[in-house]
Amino acid sequence: MRYGRFDDTNREYIITRPDTPLPWVNYLGTEAFFGIISNTAGGYSFYRDARLRRLTRYRYNNVPMDVGGRYIYLRDAASGEFWSPSWQPTRCNLESYVCRHGLSYTIIGSTYLGIAAQTCYFVPLGENLEIWQATITNLRETAASLSVFSAIEFALWDAWDDATNYQRNLSTGEVEIEDGVIYHKTEYRERRDHFAYFACSEPLVGFDTQREAFLGPYAGWDRPQAVERDQMSNSIAHGWFPIGSHHVRLVLPPGESHSIIFLLGYHQNPPDQKFDPPHSQTINKVTVRPIISRYLDPHHVQAAFNALRARWSELLNVIQVETPDEHTNRMVNIWNAYQCMVTFNLSRSASMFEAGVSRGIGFRDSNQDLLGCVHMMPERARERILDIATTQIEDGGAYHQYQPLTKRGNDAIGSNFNDDPLWLVLSVAAYLKETGDWAILDVPVQFENRPGTEAPLYEHLRRSLRYTLARLGPHGLPLIGRADWNDCLNLNTFSEEPGESFQTAANRESGIAESIFIAGLFVLAAKELAQIATHRGNSADREWILEASNEMARAVASYGWDGEWFLRAYDAFGEPIGSHRCEEGQIFIEPQGMCLMAGLGLDDGRAAQALRSVHDRLATPHGIILQQPAYSRYYLHLGEISSYPPGFKENAGIFCHTNPWIMIAETIAGSGDRAFDYYQRLNPSVRESISEIHRCEPYVYAQMVAGRDAPSHGEAKNSWLTGTAAWNYVAITQWILGIRPTYDGLEIAPAIPSNWAGFTARRTFRGATYRIVVVRDGPGNAISLTVNGQPIEGTVVCLPPQNQEIEIKAVLR
């Protein structure tokens, strides 16, 4: 069953009923000002950091879900009836409803009582404000007399404090009103130099800024007293709950439309110019007024909207493909690329499943997110790499997370997730392959944000490898530390205390628990760094790195193979995890994917055997399960993984992030059919037709789909902010379609399904445009390439001089 449909031409998903199984959300903003918006206008906005600079309030734990948003109410003067054109919060029985989630904008429209209302929400490029442009049309045969109300609830900036510290917060709220603009300035009197504003393009009949005045005692957002009575109080919030609400009246002749613009923005003043006049407590509005008047002008709004759409076309045009499969085309050309940008921007901070208060930017997460969008915005990738590297610790270790606002490592979570540093090598390698910007390696980068500790980025990468080598266990395999990629495999935690963090508690530093996954990741990262060293002419580095990598490969070969698949780990007692000898958790997906991507087991039949085992034991129609059999009870020595009921999350859920590793491994092993089959099992667009089972948005990947041990097998959770986005994008574009940046040029090495006749693609790479035509002339993956009509050796097309058009023909046999 579907709740909408794709509109590929407009790059939109069109939701045709408001009561989707969960709020189906989208994101506004592309740079610094962001918002999350549901298909019923729920959600909230923030500047840079969902926790520390929250503009508007949202209630995650609410019933019904999704309360708090960018609401508009309409009231018909003749009947006194009022409604929300976005359905929520009044939930009237709308006569028609449509929500179009596009790339960084959302348009929600509906009709009720012969009045059509459509609101377009977006953030103009380069601005710290969001626009709601509401167009109201009278479809009746008689004139309509209407009231329009806007409504938002301000958050008092720090979202965590906002949700908990009432004894203080209920006394701090402050606003100002000037020319109909509502300014929210809580704490501006003291240490803040920023404020929010909420403006409206029309003359106001009234306004409210105190929640109780607007809603009335004991009333909810579904029935504001001011709307019911058509009468605002012009309230000024002093403490309690500052809100912003404008009241506009319209008389619309039959058939006529009127457009109203609302602006919600964030603005900062220099600390010494906060007030105007200087010794007052009044906000200095000199620099914000021109911004407000600019965007209350519909011409500027239209131009900004066009610019946003043009920007997305430009970004997506870096790769466009045309394959025989519409789901692939749609995901590659539009939605997966879009999701990659959103995950890059927001990491794991703000979604329907991430409350925007707990997590900063993950070290491993961001390095992986970057893999999916470095081709679209290399400059921002460069900046991100340097930010991440600056949080690295001198011994090569990494803070597990850092705060986007301060860009500093988060002490509360700390370090010792022993896979973390290695991901930096992979992101830098991807950046170099895409851009050829070798100079980045010489940029001086601090450790732990400490001036005076600068070392070239290249040195950071060396230390990442050395960090692993300095922490080897009894089998010569990497010690796992608090956890590796699988945050929930906590082999040194031994937690018996309810509520204790599995990731940060370490009740036993065994010095024994080892990870085969990190071993694979090490080999993969070492191979990259060896190539980078070679490129820099540093043969000494190249040598020790390859030596270390071979040594690690030998350790995996001797102690990391279980007979039919790679082992997962050794626990704190030196016993294997992910072995046929275990009662539960006999086979894990992660080491199969990672070891194969690192090239382990390719020449001794183990790779093929591991892939068979994955297929036979872990694959389901809804994707590949993380491990089997599920843990049926809590194991003190395994930690969080065994805390989840069977089939959920890391305990035998389909943890989607890992599936593309197997797809990539299948292409390396030569099976385009298998790879593509797995790709389709998770492809959100394929799953659209089972939306009643999948339940999350059909246009983006979710972190998890319930595994076969769960009663809700096939149900997705944790949509949007997941490494699944980047890795699926890499798997389909670079490995299945096989268009792969390398240090020396663009490689064309598809491993597509045997029943595809071929595909075409356009890829911009290092300033040149490649037009690629792949034709199948036999069932295999053997490739012959011609470049501008000339046959070439191998699969890598050398770098062209700038700005050239290059025609590539690849024949597969």
Would you please indicate which residues are annotated as catalytic (active-site) residues?
487
Minimum CB–partner distance for residue 652 and ligand GLC (Å): 13
**CB-based contact 126:142 (threshold 8 Å):** no
**Least distance between ligand GLC and beta carbon 387 (Å):** 17
Residue in 485, 561, 588, 759 binding ligand GLC, rule: CB under 6 A: 485
Closer residue to ligand GLC in complex, CB, 202/369: 369
Region from 150-158, 358-366, 754-762, 775-783 binding ligand GLC, contact rule CB under 6 A: 358-366
Instruction: Note whether 467 and 395 are within 8 A (CB).
Output: yes
- The distance of closest approach from Cβ of residue 704 to ligand GLC in the complex, given in angstroms and rounded to an integer, is 8
What character string, x for contact with ligand GLC (CB under 6 A) and - otherwise, covers 674-713?
A: -----------------------------x----------
For residues 123 and 521, which CB has a smaller minimum distance to ligand GLC in the complex? 521
Tokens 């699944």 sit at which residue? 724
- Residue placing its CB nearer to ligand GLC in the complex, 49 or 176: 49
Between residue 504 and residue 543, which ones bind ligand GLC under the rule CB under 6 A?
none
CA distance 413 to 501: 9
In 412-536, which residue ranges form alpha helices assigned H by DSSP?
Answer: 420-435, 457-469, 516-535
Provide the 8-state DSSP code for 550. H
Choose the binding region for ligand GLC from 288-296, 362-370, 591-599, 740-748 (rule: CB under 6 A). 362-370
Residue 65 C-beta: closest distance to ligand GLC, Å? 21
Q: For ligand GLC, which residue of 30, 138, 403, 486 counts as binding (CB under 6 A)?
A: 486
What's the burial of 452, exposed, middle or buried (CB within 10 Å: 0-12/13-18/19+)?
exposed
Nearer to ligand GLC, 510 or 718 (CB): 718
Smallest gap from Cβ 209 to ligand GLC, in A, equals 37
By CB neighbour count within 10 A (0-12 exposed, 13-18 middle, 19+ buried), where does 3 fall? Answer: buried
Smallest Cα–Cα separation from 100: which of 699, 717, 691?
699
Q: Compute the least distance from the CB of residue 353 to ligand GLC, in Å.
A: 10
CA distance linking residue 333 with residue 339, whole number of Å: 11
How many whole angstroms separate alpha carbon 784 and alpha carbon 399? 46
Cα 420 from Cα 479, distance rounded (Å):
12
- Name the segment binding ligand GLC (CB under 6 A); options: 130-138, 361-369, 378-386, 553-561: 361-369
In 3D, which of 592, 681, 664 has the Cα closest to residue 628?
592
CB of 650 to ligand GLC, least distance (A): 5
Q: Which is nearer to ligand GLC, 150 or 703 (CB)?
A: 703
Name which position in 130, 487, 528, 541 contacts ligand GLC (CB under 6 A). 487
CB of 812 closer than 8 Å to CB of 781:
yes
Among 541, 640, 709, 747, binds ligand GLC (CB under 6 A): 640
Q: Which residues contact 277 (CB under 8 A, 6 or more apart)?
A: none
Q: Does 369 bind ligand GLC (CB under 6 A)?
A: no
What one-character-per-residue DSSP string does 764-802 give?
A: EETTEEEEEEEEESSSS--EEEEETTEEESSSEEEPPSS
Site track for ligand GLC across 405-444, x = CB under 6 A: ----------------------------------------
The DSSP H or E segment spanning 548 is helix 539-559
When binding is defined by CB under 6 A, the residue of 88, 435, 503, 728 that contacts ligand GLC is: 503
Between 336 and 490, whose beta carbon lies closer to ligand GLC? 490
Q: Which is nearer to ligand GLC, 124 or 356 (CB)?
A: 356
Residue with Cβ nearer ligand GLC (4 or 585): 585
Q: Do 206 and 239 touch, CB atoms closer than 8 A? A: no
- 650 forms part of the interface with ligand GLC (CB under 6 A): yes
**Does the footprint of ligand GLC cover residue 571 (CB under 6 A)?**
no
Judge contact between 153 and 56, C-beta under 8 A: yes
Helix 659-668 to helix 606-617 angle, to the nearest 10 degrees? 140
Write the CB contacts of 791 (distance below 8 Å, at least 6 apart in sequence): 784, 785
Contacting range for ligand GLC; rule: CB under 6 A; set: 295-303, 480-488, 576-584, 612-620: 480-488
Mark out the alpha helices in 560-625 (DSSP H runs): 589-597, 606-617
Contact call for residues 265 and 103 (beta carbons, < 8 A): no
Q: Which is nearer to ligand GLC, 384 or 649 (CB)?
A: 649
Site string for ligand GLC, 718-757 (x = CB under 6 A): ----xx----------------------------------
Report the Cα–Cα distance between both ends of the chain, in Å, rounded. Answer: 39
The least distance separating ligand GLC from the CB of residue 493, rounded to whole angstroms, comes to 11
Which residue, 12 or 487, is less far from ligand GLC as judged by CB?
487
Among 49, 208, 354, 365, binds ligand GLC (CB under 6 A): 365
Instruction: Collapse the DSSP code of 394 into the 3-class scheme (helix H, G, I; strand E, B; otherwise coil) and give the result.
Output: coil
Q: Provide the minimum distance between the beta carbon of 348 and ligand GLC in the complex, in angstroms, as a whole number.
A: 5
Beta strands (DSSP E) in 319-448 are: 319-322, 361-362, 401-402, 444-447
| Least distance from ligand GLC to the Cβ atom of residue 722, Å | 6
Q: How far is the CB of 673 from ligand GLC (least distance, A)?
A: 28
Is residue 590 within the footprint of ligand GLC (CB under 6 A)?
A: no
Strands (E), 691-767: 702-705, 716-719, 739-742, 745-748, 758-765
Q: What is the nearest approach in angstroms of ligand GLC to the Cβ of residue 485?
A: 4
Contact status: 488 vs ligand GLC (CB under 6 A): yes
In the block, residue with structure tokens 């199984």: 21
Residue 349's SS3 state is coil
Name the segment binding ligand GLC (CB under 6 A); options: 38-46, 154-162, 360-368, 666-674: 360-368
Give the residue with the Cβ less far from ligand GLC, 211 or 637: 637
Q: How far is the CB of 593 from ligand GLC (least distance, A)?
A: 13
The count of chain residues that interact with ligand GLC, using the rule CB under 6 A, is 15
| Part in contact with ligand GLC (CB under 6 A); list of ranges 119-127, 140-148, 481-489, 706-714 | 481-489
Is 362 among the residues that bind ligand GLC (CB under 6 A)?
yes
Q: What are phi and psi of 137, to 5 degrees?
A: -125, 135
Residue nearest to ligand GLC (CB): 487
Q: Which of 51, 267, 274, 348 contacts ligand GLC by CB under 6 A?
A: 348
Exposure letters 328-358 (e unless 16+ CB within 10 A, then b) = bbbbbbbbbbbbbbbbbbbbbbbbbbbbbbe
Residue with tokens 């704490």: 187
- Nearest Cα neighbor of 503 from 390, 399, 590, 427 is 399
Among the listed ranges 128-136, 281-289, 484-492, 756-764, the one in contact with ligand GLC (CB under 6 A) is 484-492
Residue 366 in contact with ligand GLC, rule: CB under 6 A: no
Q: Which is nearer to ligand GLC, 262 or 631 (CB)?
A: 631
Residue 666 contacts residue 597 (beta carbons within 8 Å): no
- Stretch in the footprint of ligand GLC (CB under 6 A) among 485-493, 509-517, 533-541, 554-562: 485-493
- The Cα 532–Cα 792 span in angstroms is 25
According to the binding rule CB under 6 A, does residue 51 interact with ligand GLC?
Answer: no
Residue indicated by tokens 């490494």: 723
* 649: contact with ligand GLC by CB under 6 A: yes
In the complex, the residues that contact ligand GLC under the rule CB under 6 A are 348, 362, 364-365, 485-488, 503, 640, 649-650, 703, 722-723
